[in-house]
Chains A and B, each alone.
Chain A
Amino acid sequence: MTTTTGHKLQQWMEGGVSVIVGTADADKVPTCCRAIAITTKDNFETVTVYVPAATGQETIANVATTRRVAIACTIPRSHGSIQIKGISRGVKLASPSDEELVRTRLQQWADALAELGMPRCITQRMTVWPAFAIDVSVEELFDQTPGPKAGQPLAC
């Protein structure tokens, strides 16, 4: 991916972005769950997505079986959205050094929703820790902002 494209996509790795994960089991039955954070250290060659352990068991089981992962990142205020498709390179329980990132993302998520009228005290009740960290090799990127261009591939 070019540096310019990577720079434009970086906004979806920041705080205040909604991150959701889709997977499917061996029988091709899909499921979804909310993640709490996503990061990239190599300009979208790979991403790491953090899924709460309390709610992500089914997702983790599917990833272990099929390795296929879909991740949608959405900015709540604008509905701007991308979808990342890829293959899992590994799943691990997030390390204690990741806890600050995860908890900061929860605060930022609560701030973003508070702007839209959801009280922070409600959002902050979400269980986010401990979390699983899923490393994903990015294969495809799509624009998923609602409208006629939804589903168009982004440069990858």
Chain B
Amino acid sequence: MLKLSSISRCFQGVIPSLIASADAHGLPNVTYVSQVYLLDEKHVALSQQFFNKTRRNLAENPHATAEITDPLTLQAYRLRLKFLRSEKSGPLFDTMKLRIQAIASHTGMDGVFRLIAADIFEVLRAEKVEGFLNETDVPNETVSPSGLRTEIRGLQLVSDRINRADDLETLLAATLDALDVYFGMSNTIVLLNDEPTQKLITIACRGYGGGVGAEVAIGEGLIGTAAHERQVLRISGLDECLRYGRAVRRSVMSDGSRVRPEIPLPGLHDAQSALILPLLIEDRLVGILAAESRDAMAFGEWDEAYLGVIANQIALGIDRVIEEDADAGRGFSPPPPTEGRAEATPYVVRARHTLTYFRDDDCVFLNDEYLVRNVPGRILWKLLGEWKRQGRTSFTNRELRMDRALGLPEVKDNLESRLILLKHRLREKCPDVQITPAGRGKFTLDIAAELDLLER
């Protein structure tokens, strides 16, 4: 029999598979299934989302045939199947559930379509569908040993960069840069868990031209679902999956039922595949590492395992630099008001801006345009106030931590990630006001404009 592992691409869900079943009288039924899951050389699984005709037929007659397709070559293969059992819990069920739950959540269909059971089949026979394609120009794909060596070398380099990073911003930038350079993952994003708000906040990204500060609610959409379940989510043929979800959505809406709006993808609008990994320290969710690609086959099992190793290191690295930052701040006192006075700064004033803090909305506007809000907004307002009143330009993380008015949590305050977010927002929206690191746990506020501060 054909080895199922030799046609593993067919099981990634890029091209829907065909499944034929028959009832007790032999009346056939044929339909598509979004993915056939490869379990081992003799078993596959199908997801059961609705109690449909295929499901009723299998209860009467265990025989079925699936036709699966290689998404690169379009070669078809037939699997002669015998239904064994349905599983409604366990690791396989959880893995299949996550993918369906994420797509359902993304398309506003939570609870409408969900995994009812994982149906397990014995593969009696697997065969290539001879004559399906004209046997010309068949792509020949091989893995070169030098490629594997490059990947191992790449892993070493990524680990090295993570270990050497002194601060969170350097750690994340260096990691995403290495993933791009050594592994061609050019669209990556890291979100940190903000426990008090139950949101994930984008803290670093590559390949999107901005996006730092974007938020995802835990439990919503692809990223939010992976975070909530603390499981790796790998989706090939993402566009196909979303079209399936939208078909269900249209079907539900045709009755006049109201459904929640679809959640916009936070990254590429035309992504064909996604790999989303929770950054975990034991059971604690530190954040999410997500990679996207316009190639439907960009991420395989190997990428999942490999990026899993890197995700563990990132999680540990984030924890390390945050702890180090907190430790470094201890013992520092705020500098006296005379240190680093504003008039001593060498900048030439180029412009005049008005910054307004809105107390009710907890946000800061720059010249009538939204700049930043919540904790980063309060931090900015504190810094600007000290600068205006006392002429201070040097600050420490320690004094921010001790200022209860900022509302930082007592434990795991993510101060460094909030400062990164603030720095990015200033860099994008207000280059005349900058935050510059000045050694571990210290930074300066560099102002190159006249500022009017208003509070409403």
Chain A residues in the interface with B (C-beta under 8 A): 18, 20-26, 28-34, 52, 54-55, 66, 68-72, 74, 77-81, 83, 85, 116-118, 121-123, 125-127, 142, 144-151
User: Of the candidates A33, A70, A81, which one forms a contact with B29 in the assembled complex, judged by CB atoms under 8 Å apart?
Assistant: A70
CB distance B18 to A145 under 8 Å? no
Q: Is the interface of B mostly helix, strand, loop or mixed?
A: mixed
Known: A28-B26, A28-B61, A30-B22. A125 touches B134 (CB 8 A): yes
Known: A29-B63, A68-B27, A127-B133. A22 touches B20 (CB 8 A): yes
User: Of the candidates A23, A55, A66, which one forms a contact with B129 in the assembled complex, judged by CB atoms under 8 Å apart?
Assistant: A55
The smallest C-beta distance from A117 to any residue of chain B, in angstroms, reads 6
CB distance B131 to A54 under 8 Å? yes
CA distance A125 to B76 in the complex (A): 12
Chain B residues, CB < 8 A from A23: 20, 28
Q: Of B20, B49, B73, B272, which is in contact with the most chain A CB atoms at under 10 Å from its CB? A: B20
CB distance B248 to A147 under 8 Å? yes
CB distance B53 to A151 under 8 Å? yes
CB distance A79 to B28 under 8 Å? no
List the A residue with the shortest CB-CB distance to B21.
A30
CB distance A144 to B31 under 8 Å? yes
The smallest C-beta distance from B31 to any residue of chain A, in angstroms, reads 6
The smallest C-beta distance from B174 to any residue of chain A, in angstroms, reads 33
Chain B residues, CB < 8 A from A25: 26
Annotate B216-254 by CB proximity to A: 1 below 8 A, 0 otherwise. 000000000000000000000001100110111111101
Complex A-B: 8 CB contacts under 8 Å:
A28-B61, A34-B76, A55-B132, A116-B240, A117-B239, A145-B247, A146-B244, A146-B248
CB distance A22 to B131 under 8 Å? no
CA distance A131 to B50 in the complex (A): 35
Does B45 count as interface, using CB distance less than 8 angstroms? no
Chain A residues, CB < 8 A from B240: 116
Chain A residues, CB < 8 A from B65: 29-32
Annotate B271-308 by CB proximity to A: 1 below 8 A, 0 otherwise. 01000000000000000000000001000000000000
Does B343 count as interface, using CB distance less than 8 angstroms? no
Q: Which 6 residue pairs are nearest across A and B when measured between Cβ atoms?
A: A22-B30, A147-B251, A54-B131, A79-B247, A32-B20, A28-B26
List the B residue with the shortest CB-CB distance to A29.
B63
Chain B residues, CB < 8 A from A28: 22, 24-26, 61, 63
CA distance A25 to B20 in the complex (A): 12
CB distance A83 to B31 under 8 Å? yes
The smallest C-beta distance from B108 to any residue of chain A, in angstroms, reads 13
The smallest C-beta distance from B270 to any residue of chain A, in angstroms, reads 9
CA distance A125 to B22 in the complex (A): 31
CB distance A66 to B26 under 8 Å? yes
Chain B residues, CB < 8 A from A70: 20, 27-30
Annotate B43-80 by CB proximity to A: 1 below 8 A, 0 otherwise. 00000011011000000010111110000111010101
CB distance A31 to B31 under 8 Å? no
Q: Of A25, A32, A33, A151, which is in contact with the most chain B CB atoms at under 10 Å from its CB? A: A32
Q: Of B65, B76, B240, which is in contact with the most chain A CB atoms at under 10 Å from its CB? A: B65
Q: Of B64, B66, B251, which is in contact with the most chain A CB atoms at under 10 Å from its CB? A: B251
Does B137 count as interface, using CB distance less than 8 angstroms? yes
List the B residue with the shortest CB-CB distance to A144.
B31
The smallest C-beta distance from B92 to any residue of chain A, in angstroms, reads 22
CB distance B251 to A149 under 8 Å? yes
CB distance A127 to B131 under 8 Å? yes
The smallest C-beta distance from B348 to any residue of chain A, in angstroms, reads 52
Known: A78-B243, A127-B131, A146-B251. A20 touches B30 (CB 8 A): yes
Chain A residues, CB < 8 A from B27: 24, 68, 70, 85
CB distance B28 to A147 under 8 Å? no
Chain A residues, CB < 8 A from B296: 117
Chain B residues, CB < 8 A from A68: 26-28
Does B112 count as interface, using CB distance less than 8 angstroms? yes
CB distance A127 to B132 under 8 Å? yes
CB distance A30 to B64 under 8 Å? yes
CA distance A71 to B31 in the complex (A): 9
CB distance B131 to A55 under 8 Å? yes
CA distance A85 to B31 in the complex (A): 12
List the B residue with the shortest CB-CB distance to A24.
B22
CB distance A147 to B113 under 8 Å? yes
CB distance B50 to A30 under 8 Å? no
User: Of the candidates A29, A125, A126, which one forms a contact with B137 in the assembled complex, judged by CB atoms under 8 Å apart?
Assistant: A125
Q: A26-B26, A126-B74 are in contact. List 11 more A-B contacts (CB 8 A).
A: A22-B20, A22-B21, A22-B28, A22-B30, A28-B25, A29-B22, A30-B30, A32-B20, A144-B31, A147-B251, A149-B254
